[in-house]
Structure 1
Amino acid sequence: MKRFFLFFLFLVFSSCQYFEKQVPSEKELLQKELKSINWKEVDEYPSVLDCEKINDKKQRQQCFFEIMSQLIQEKLDIDTLSILYPELDTIEVKVTIFPNATLKFEPQFPKDSATYDTIKMDSILRARLIDFPKVNPAIKRGIPVKSQFILPVILKEKNNK
């Protein structure tokens, strides 16, 4: 029994080295976690109330883009932009959705924008792109984040409706 006790005591003291592991520092763990996050994608895309009932991520994203494009087109249809620039059939609008659910619209002018009065177009677009329904921001790891995307907006002439 004494031999067993000595053997057990020897085993206990010598086995402690197997349990001793170096714990990574807090900074190392943070850096490792930050590198593992894909910052180019969000967990949930921005959404409007009409798209909330859709469970599929891709379908919800598609629904959101369609509704936003439709709303922007409706707001621009009532303006003279298509009459002032009949050769311009599509413009791109950069939409930024901030974590606090506010929206910012920036028109992206064509490469040959020297032929257009960009200041006038910009003021018309900014005046029309107001009063949108509430948009829920994108979610990344449970936290609302800023997201940006570019929507093509088709300008329709009044006489083609």
Structure 2
Amino acid sequence: MRNLLVLIVILSCTSCEYFNVKKTSSEAILNEELQTFNWNDVDEYPNFSACDSSETKAEKTRCFQQTITTTIANFLEAERIVVSEDIHDTLMLKFIVSQKGELALIHAKIDSLTLQEIPNIKDLLENSLDSLPKLFPAIKRGQQVTTEFKIPVVIQVN
């Protein structure tokens, strides 16, 4: 009877999944981590040295956008733009900030009237980016990453 009891205990223990060790591959861990990863957000947005005093992420983002729009607006105001009709337009500019902190204009949504009145507007916008201060790239999990931004810029020429 005692042998029968020992046999039953051994059979129940060996048939149980509790004692099986599951091996997890590094690929499985990586795939699980990538699924929980928020690809649309970064830990730190790109910023200029003037924005270092900002404390929160929202303040740094606002400072980043304000620095770009102010620089573009100041550059365009310094240019002598002559138009035959008044222009009141909001340009949607799409920028990319590389891992090295290089800012590039990749797309500009410009109204046809603005393009007609200021045919070199895209060149002016790209030239205005040269006067920006040094830019530091965005950071995601301790790594410098490439990011894209859309920023509206209001143009008024009378």
TM-score normalised according to structure 2 size: 0.76
2:50 aligns to what?
A: 50
Note the C-alpha offset of 1:96. Answer: 1.3
2:61 aligns to what?
A: 61
CA contact (8 A) 2:87 2:156 kept: no
TM-score normalised according to structure 1 size: 0.75
Give the aligned length: 145
The 10-residue stretch of structure 1 (142-151 or 128-137) with the greater mean CA deviation from structure 2: 128-137
CA contact (8 A) 1:107 1:122 kept: no
* Structure 1: gaps spanning 5 or more residues: 1-10
1:150 aligns to what?
A: 150
Identity %: 29
CA contact (8 A) 2:87 2:155 kept: no
Pair 1:100-2:100 in alignment: yes
Task: Trace 1:62-101 onto structure 2 (pairs within 5 A).
Answer: 62-81=62-81, 83-84=82-83, 86-101=86-101
* Structure 2: gaps spanning 5 or more residues: 1-9
Structure 1 segments, 4+ long, off by >6 Å, are none
CA contact (8 A) 1:75 1:129 kept: no
Deviations 1:62-93 (A, max 9, x none): 12211221111111211244x33632432222
Pair 1:140-2:147 in alignment: no
Query: In structure 2, what residue type is equivalent to 1:49?
Result: S
Query: In structure 1, what residue type is equivalent to 2:112?
Result: S
Deviations 1:85-114 (A, max 9, x none): 63243222222110101110245233x527
Partner-residue secondary structure (3-state), 1:23: coil
Note the C-alpha offset of 1:115. Answer: 7.0
User: d(CA) in 1 for partners of 2:71 and 2:126?
Assistant: 14
- Which structure shows the higher strand fraction? 2
Note the C-alpha offset of 1:136. Answer: 0.9
